[in-house]
Amino acid sequence: MTAEPGGTLIGQRIREVLLSPEHKGMDPVTELLLYNASRSRLISELIRPALKEGKVVISDRFSDSTVAYQGYGRGISLRTISALDRIATGGLKPDLTILLDLPAEEGLRRNRKDTKKKEDRLELERIEFHKRVRVGFLEMQKKEPERVRKIDVSRGGMEEIHKKVVEIVEGILR
């Protein structure tokens, strides 16, 4: 189990820079490079060794998030993102991405109700940004429906959503 950005000591430090509201003025290219630096370290330190041992790796976010956030959200060329991704990942791509989908407004509303109350740099972005990010994820799902599996989480409880996730993952593992 791992998460992005973070998962390693270097990645955690990069995460602090990326998500800190004090860096609100960070330009999109710097943001893109930092995410890829964190991912590169995560792959070399944790993911590749785990895969070599035959383990299943579950990551909370990966390259698809960069396409959605920095590509669709920030407007960086998808070709540029793809080229940097190949460098950072060495071509490693998830077998499965689970997209927990709901309208941006509802996602932000739920986040504000959460006891952790995330108020990081990305959470503080305008609603238009979050809508573009959602469009990006939905576009990826349309292009690769077998790899990017969408679950509508706008209704249904945690147990129901968990059951759907387990069904999808077990289907892939079989």
Per-position DSSP letters for 67-121, written without gaps between them: IIIIIIIT---HHHHHHHHHHHHTT---S-EEEEE--HHHHHHHHHHSTT----T
- Does residue 122 contact residue 19 with C-beta atoms inside 8 Å? yes
Residue 45: CATH number of its domain: 3.40.50.300
Q: How many domains does the chain have?
A: 1
> How far apart are the C-alpha atoms of 5 and 35, rounded to whole Å?
6
Domain enclosing residue 138, as ranges:
2-173
- Does residue 63 contact residue 89 with C-beta atoms inside 8 Å? yes
> Is 0.85 surpassed by the pTM of this model?
yes
Task: Express each pLDDT in 7-66 by its tens digit.
Answer: 999 999 999 999 998 998 999 999 999 999 999 999 999 999 999 999 999 999 999 999
